[in-house]
Amino acid sequence: MALASSSIKSRALDILTSHDVAQYFDQFTFGPDVDRGKPYPDIFLMACAKLQQQPADCLVLEDSEAGIQAATSAKIPVICVPDMKRPNQPYADQATAIVPSLTDVITHLKSVR
């Protein structure tokens, strides 16, 4: 499992560590690691490469319109878990699903098996 965050490494790792979840990720890619940030697909493509996986075999969980666009451009299925606002319709239409929480991602994935 990889984390692809537009944040800088120190900020992202501080947050992940403070919530005791950093150890669940095998690879990390941060905004400064790529030349072009979201909505370009570069960060997700780099994360896939680090995992040695094809984009179509991955899944992105995203909270922003730019992230939805980046995942779609990378040809990676994306589930939106809105943070502060629901994405506008053109972006919502690009998502495989929009769920209210991370727990609901699991429920959604089990329902589409």
Amino acid identity, position 54? Q
Task: Give yes or no for a cis peptide into 41 (omega within 30° of 0).
Answer: no
Q: Which pTM was predicted?
A: 0.93
Q: What is the DSSP letter of 31?
A: G
Tokens of 44: 């997700």
Residue 48 has pLDDT above 90, yes or no: yes
Report the pLDDT value the prediction gives residue 86, as an integer from 0 to 100.
95
C-beta of residue 53 within 8 angstroms of C-beta of residue 85 = no
Distance in angstroms (rounded) separating the CA atoms of residues 10 and 111: 36
Report the pLDDT value the prediction gives residue 84, as an integer from 0 to 100.
87
Residue 113 has pLDDT above 90, yes or no: no
Q: Which tens digits make up the pLDDT trace of 17-40?
A: 999 999 999 999 999 999 999 999
Report the pLDDT value the prediction gives residue 10, as an integer from 0 to 100.
97
Residue 55, C-beta contacts closer than 8 angstroms, at least 6 positions apart: 44, 45, 48, 74, 75, 76
Tokens of 73: 């451009």
Amino acid identity, position 33? D
Distance in angstroms (rounded) separating the CA atoms of residues 85 and 34: 26
Q: Which tens digits make up the pLDDT trace of 95-105?
A: 999 999 999 99
- pLDDT band at residue 13 under the 50/70/90 scheme: very high
CB neighbours (10 Å) of residue 90?
A: 10
